[in-house]
Amino acid sequence: MKHFLPQRVEVKPRGFTMIELILVIACFITGGLLLNAAFDLTTPKGVLCTANMMDLGKAVESYRADNDEYFMIPQLTVKNKGYCPPNWATLLACTKMGNYVSAVKLNCPEMPAYLPDRWANPAYQASPYTWMWNKPGYGYNAVWVGGVRRGKNGYPGAQPYNIAAVDDPANLIVIADSADTDRKTGGAFLWPVYMKKNTVLWPRHEGAVNVLYADGHVAATASGMSSANEESSAALYAKGAELESSATGKRMTCKWRMGLD
């Protein structure tokens, strides 16, 4: 009897067809979008704000490196009236000026953005004169760090300080959560004294305010209350804090000066 052995059949490997490849790529893209959406929905807004401020800290450091270690001037002058003059936010994020950080990083997810359609628009990001720069979600310590106090003619005549002049960079406020005078959006310039008519520190993260310090680290300072309002904002300002009197060291408060004269 003859035995017939099965013959080996060679199967050549088959590659992906074009349709299969397109389907695989589409699945990866869809999965990535779903993950991003889930991240945005589940990540606390305070964490996203902290990430924004860390990016701003890197931008400030890069700006100083390009400007002999001086901080940003609060506001530039313009010859044409009617224009919103460029300010520190413009210097950091305008794509035709500093371009050190994306403009969208200037807004906190816990605070409604002023003119929200503009911040991610390339045309507005490239314009130094759009009004959006005047109301970012974060404010700058313009009086001390920006040198308004020792300059002339307000913000445009300010004389920014060099980082070398700061006694304790780890405790000097540079940028923080802010609320403009209407308390509906942020404001560009923080004042070291609490007043209802001023742009102020605004503790919108369950009663805490996120602060970027001169050494680049970001930390939250609690107001001792659970929400953002005039009372909790005022609680962040110790009496004499703007001049760092003896009262400043007695409580957890934001430091505005740290040796600057």
Left (φ > 0), alpha (ψ -120 to 50) or beta: where does 137 sit? Answer: alpha
Task: Give bridge partners of residue 212 from the DSSP assignment.
Answer: 175, 218
Element (H, E) at 173: strand 173-179
pLDDT at position 39, please?
39
Q: What is the mean pLDDT of the chain?
A: 83
pTM above 0.85, yes or no: no
Burial degree of 86 (CB within 10 A; 0-12, 13-18, 19+): buried
Could you list the mean pLDDT of each consecutive 10-residue stretch along the chain, which spans 261 residues?
A: 45 57 59 44 73 97 97 84 85 95 96 94 94 95 92 86 93 95 96 91 94 95 92 83 47 67 71
Taking the CB of residue 147, how many other CB atoms lie within 10 A of it? 23
Residue 222 structure tokens = 């609690």
C-alpha 90/C-alpha 100 separation (Å) is: 10
C-alpha 243/C-alpha 260 separation (Å) is: 10
pLDDT at position 135, please?
96
Element (H, E) at 222: strand 218-222
Report strand pairing: 200-201 vs 173-179.
antiparallel
pLDDT at position 230, please?
96
C-alpha 22/C-alpha 198 separation (Å) is: 56
Q: Are 210 and 49 in contact (CB under 8 A)?
A: yes
Residue 228 structure tokens = 């953002």
Q: Are 236 and 254 in contact (CB under 8 A)?
A: yes
Report residue 155 CA to chain centroid gap: 20
Q: Are 148 and 142 in contact (CB under 8 A)?
A: yes
C-alpha 259/C-alpha 251 separation (Å) is: 18
Element (H, E) at 8: none
